[in-house]
Structure 1
Amino acid sequence: MEAAQVDGAGTFRCYIHVVIPVCRPVIGAAVALSFADCWNLVEQPLTYLTQAPQLQPLSTMFNQLASENTGFEFAGAALYILPALFVYMFFQEDILSGIQLTEMK
């Protein structure tokens, strides 16, 4: 960071070009894990949204769905996994580089 400041970079440019690239694996892993945690909530919506079942997320719907139509359930589960899979695919390089950095130390 000091080298960038000596070269004439301002505080904002140092932050964008030095600090953010170093923190990118941590930020990517934190975003992916936070999304997975929020996406898979079951207990909190069941507790807080008991009076409004139309506002409950899909995770609680799968918890309450018990029918004979297993094809419908599996199709819904496959569609439910897609957003989490896309988030992981988007941050996969950051997560893997973070794992590689921890192995080097």
Structure 2
Amino acid sequence: MDPVKSWLQQLVVPLRNSRGMVTVEAAIALGSLVTVGALLISGIGIMATTIAVTDAAGAAARSLAIGVDYHPPAHIQITQSQAGDFLKVEATAPVVIIGKVSASAYFPKENAYANGQ
């Protein structure tokens, strides 16, 4: 018998056997499912934080425009500035995957606030 052919048969015969392939496929599928699940949960968290930041920016702009103090949630930071007759409020909050989420809101100043009263 040809030694090359014998060596080739010894190499090919184990490849024909699919024993253990189900375990490998299950491990890959399980890893993929865990990754997709983690990304979905992170996406929902990012969306919730975005909604909270947008709401906080709008509420802060409204309350500061009429001269009322606003206390945002603990994880949201508020900065304000004036842009003509409008107040600009920017709210930011940390997010796990992308770093931070921010939103801006503009609101016209009330007359009493604009006159410094």
Q: Same fold (TM over 0.5)?
A: no
Q: Which has the higher contact order (CA 8 A, sep 6+)?
A: 1
Bigger Rg, structure 1 or 2: 2
Give the structure-1-normalised TM-score. 0.35
Structure with the higher fraction of residues in helix conformation: 1
Structure with the higher fraction of residues in strand conformation: 2
